Amino acid sequence: MLRLDAELNKDVIAELKKPLGKLYHDFEDAIDEIKSSKFLISVGDATFSNLIKYELYPNLAIIDNLVQRKNYDHDVIHTENILKSNNPAGTITEDLWETIGKALQLCGNGECYVIDVDGEEDLAVLPCILMASEDTTILYGQPNEGLVILKVSDTIKKAQTLIDAFIEE
């Protein structure tokens, strides 16, 4: 398991609070870029919900049924392909890594998969960057700011640098 420590990883935590890609304050402004994506991963409940609202279906969605630490219930997930993973806040567990890997393999058939995380999905962006193909687009919410869209090819080195700073347990 990889863990962030509030004292030892202050720099990493500060870096993770900055967008890893392009920030859109309005979801609607990002729709054309989202539609042009060859392979799409969404991380976060609000991001997934917004995609569904516009009938845009990611290849993989990672949710934890929370939006800004408050319970969030999805009306319709739009797939029966749901995988479960355990991942406490501030960590990236082996279970999450393995579940993302499995989902990425399964997504190859063109169906949408959802990983329902028991715990917190916030840091799942990093393993997604490191495991997905370089032409993948990842979306996630930047709290109180908007939507971040990143291209895996542009962020692999940054993601690896961040992951390398985590504490391994």
Residues 6+ apart with CB under 8 A from 89: 119, 120, 122
* Residue 116 marked in a binding site: no
* Residue 154 marked in a binding site: no
* Residue 121 marked in a binding site: yes
4-43 as b/e: b if 16+ CB within 10 A? beeeebeebbeebeebbbeebeebeebeeebeebebbbbb
Residue numbers belonging to the annotated binding site for GTP: 45, 64, 121
Binding-site annotation: residue ranges: 45, 64, 121
